[in-house]
Structure 1
Amino acid sequence: MELMKMMLVDDEERFLSTTKKLLERKGFEVQTASSGKEALDLLRTHPVHVVILDVKMPGMDGVATLREIKRQYPMVEVIMLTGHATMESAMDGLKSGAVDYLMKPANLEEIIEKAVGAYNRRADIEEKIEAARMQGSKEPPPEMLEQA
């Protein structure tokens, strides 16, 4: 299985830099973006499997960013990162295609656990798509051709 690539999107630079360093020490490949627009720009050149996305950001908020990520990159799994005051937004995120959410402040193990779960979910979906593609490309069994 390919090494999980993730992106952290949050307007808090300290959170981004600290969490990125800790995740990289654990062996993950991590990109960071401090806004929704920056995340979308970065996804064009640096594809990832999982995005950890803050709900409350200036400019394009997390839910709007999520909707655009799912529109442009439907296989990217998104986990919403929220504080208590934005729980309703996190629920909107789940309705818009986020796979899960984390409450701030999230500890590193919780981030890893949710990201790995999302990555595994994506891998399962990719396997099913590939199996369906292979099934669709097979020729009908000879006995079906004889009956036709």
Structure 2
Amino acid sequence: MEPLGRILMADDEETFLQSTAALLRRRGFECDCVNDAPGALAKLRSQQYDLMIADIKMPGNTDLELIKSLPQVAPGMPVIMVTGYPSLESAAQSIELPVVAYLVKPVDFDQLLEQAKISVEYSRTYRAVAGAPAHVQDWRLELGSVRRMISQTAGETALPGIDAFMTQTFRMIVHHLADMKHMVETLAVRSLEQDDGHKSSTTRYMELVDVIFEAISVLERIKHVFPSEELDVLRLKLKRVVKGQGGLLKEEE
């Protein structure tokens, strides 16, 4: 099962570090632990995290040096700061930094958990949006290669070029749908926490995305053979989901 999020915990208070990490793991998060700022930086440079929970007074972070370096080391990653020695100075500094919460020890775990969920949602959404231009640029380069291949085979069968174009296009669609599916699932989880028992719009969108994924998979398998019983079954599934969108999507007659 995929973890709810990847969290890096940095704190020189071993008891708090290990006990809090254990509680977060029980709630479905993956947690790595370090005892100082240099250890945190080493982890951040080698792995990707959705959130960091960091102590203010641990070695290497007395002037929030670790937090100040995050925009360069881990762009978009939020931080929850924890401290046993709150001060107006550190609280004021945190306003200018990627700090989403400033919690005083002993930390209320329910409050920490809620902030962790919100922070992971933000982090993953940020990465999906921030990475979109690069993915589009890669797709343009790949299509350029396909265009050159087609031009070099002028007068011959166009099937290899068509196949290459469809493959690259499907790959791009699936990539963006994967990002969309993740964000919709995140929204669905949040909405279920506040739902009154009725199916929410995000849940209906999640159903729609699941069917779209299946459509892409089927089309990939049978893209050269259009007459297909699978397409008929898929068409019926799509019609049922479209009808269930309550007017959000208009069914094509």
Identity of aligned residues (%): 29
Which residue is equivalent to 2:115? 114
Q: Is the 8 A contact 1:50 1:77 kept in 2?
A: yes
Equivalent residues in 2 for 1:6-21 (5 A)?
6-21=7-22
Equivalent residues in 2 for 1:103-142 (5 A)?
Answer: 103-130=104-131
Q: Is the 8 A contact 1:55 1:90 kept in 2?
A: no
Q: Identify the structure with the greater strand proportion.
A: 1
8 A Cα contact 1:78 1:97, kept in partner? yes
1:88 and 2:89 correspond = yes
- For the aligned residue pairs, the C-alpha RMSD in angstroms reads 2.5
Matched-pair contact (CA < 8 Å) for 1:81–1:90: no
**Which consecutive unaligned segments of at least 5 residues does structure 1 have?**
140-148
Q: Find the aligned partners of 1:41 and 1:107 in 2 and give their Cα distance.
A: 29
Question: How far apart are residue 4 of structure 1 and its match?
Answer: 0.3
C-alpha spacing 1:48/1:131, structure 2 compared with 1 (3 Å):
closer
Residues 86, 56 of structure 1: alpha-carbon distance in 2 compared, 3 angstrom cutoff: farther
**Alignment coverage as a number of residue pairs:** 139
TM-score scaled by length of structure 2 = 0.48
Q: 1 or 2 for the larger relative contact order (CA 8 Å, sep ≥6)?
A: 1
Which one has a bigger Cα radius of gyration?
A: 2
Q: SS of the residue aligned with 2:87? A: helix
Q: Does 2:102 match 1:101? A: yes
**Which stretch of structure 1 is more off in the superposition, 69-78 or 83-92?**
83-92
Structure ranking higher in helix proportion: 2
Deviation of 1:64 after TM superposition, in Å, equals 0.7
